[in-house]
Structure 1
């Protein structure tokens, strides 16, 4: 993983910059002033000056965060690389003060869906089989459940879809390399592949996805996870059956009975 990230080029880190902007927007909508922030990020330079006085640590397997030291922890664009994402979230929760906020941003399962289709089709035709060329990424529903498993209260998961366009397949793959997001799976195919595989992949890519201007679109899915460290002061869900009004009455609509 470190070797892949070492190849990064600053101008290619637009996803990390967009994640930072998304975090800043979301924090601005929280009616609270945070005084002890921490940022978990593979690229600390992206966060220079973003959060005043923030502690910035690498997304190592063991996070260099002090227990109960922070009122907000940002986990930025690292969970999709984590060997143990639940463990990372648990460490973030332990680093939070009571009623502290976690805001995590990561790549989701629809990322590079066009490239997955093109490479799978080309590899099936050219090599007669498939190999894991793009690392799997979680779906928003599954990732939201990780917050509950990690012990966070009031968990929320939502999606920010993005699309970038490229001249050709090599342009896209060079940018993925420059942003440090190429495949680091230990099970990936490591032997050289014939050039015709990528020629065929570009043909399939253009056949199914090419824009009217002859560009290749690439989807990126930013998944934002929000949770709070538990506190007695937080709102609690009502006990099932304790409602004082029927939903139909609250909405001022007639109640409809379902057929047996």
Structure 2
């Protein structure tokens, strides 16, 4: 039987071009700070870490690899794997997580940060309404980002022990929707969906979306908010000294408790 290949979600060539032009890294820098903060809670020294990232210049203290479909990792070669805001572009997120888990030595730590389902919910709603009004249909524009409970389940499917999924949000304010969309391009997070329209969006659609955004979400001083939800996935490579895995669908434990339990058993 021919194996089922994962759906091609991302146009990797387009994504690489977008990232090459990136000039705004404030969310990537937020990810760096978050990882550093979380690692400070672990009473353990890591001697063989690696970061999966599109922007290695932001991780000067860590070896890094690109987020290709097949990661440049060797079995049980690392004691720490960090995935820094790349998983939301993966064609096969579970496959990426499995590769990270296999690369970890027993009791090694995985930390993954990715954009969650609440990210850009304002822009997504406004674009959908504007396009439906203007063209009578809706085209693929934004990644189908996962919800926190579902993403926690992916850790268990990938074979991680002590899985934890938690999140935080960052709200950024912009002059208007055009300013926000320009900033997304500057982040390297422009539309790189394989199924995207291959021609520029009609100006009328964008203008209408900006009108809806301002009318629906603008603050008293005329700025518009943009929500970025960052989900943090934590899991450990299985080891006999660890606690028993959580039952499926229950990856909602507090990060601090999981880290303390793992350190105590280490």
TMscore range, shorter length: 0.7 to 0.9
Q: 1:1-260 to 2 correspondence within 5 Å?
A: 1-9=15-23, 12-49=24-61, 54-236=62-244
SS in 1 for 2:170: strand
Question: Residues 88 and 238 (structure 1 numbering): CA distance in 2 closer, same or farther, change over 3 Å?
Answer: closer
**What is the TM-score of this pair, normalised by structure 2?**
0.85
1:30 is displaced (CA, Å) by 1.1
Long gaps (5+) in structure 2: 1-14, 248-266
User: What value does the CA root-mean-square deviation take over the aligned residues?
Assistant: 1.4
1:237 is displaced (CA, Å) by 5.8
1:191 is displaced (CA, Å) by 2.4
Deviations 1:56-108, CA, capped at 9 Å, x for gaps: 11111111122111111101110000011111111111111110000000011
Question: Residues 192 and 236 (structure 1 numbering): CA distance in 2 closer, same or farther, change over 3 Å?
Answer: closer
Q: Distance in 2 between matches of 1:187 and 1:238?
A: 37
Structure 1 segments of 4+ aligned residues over 3 angstroms from their partners = none
Q: Does structure 1 conserve the Cα–Cα contact (< 8 Å) formed by 2:109 and 2:237? A: yes
SS in 2 for 1:211: coil
Q: Distance in 1 between matches of 2:25 and 2:201?
A: 27
Long gaps (5+) in structure 1: 240-260
**What is the TM-score of this pair, normalised by structure 1?**
0.87
Q: Distance in 1 between matches of 2:246 and 2:196?
A: 48
Q: Distance in 2 between matches of 1:236 and 1:146?
A: 17
Question: Residues 237 and 82 (structure 1 numbering): CA distance in 2 closer, same or farther, change over 3 Å?
Answer: closer
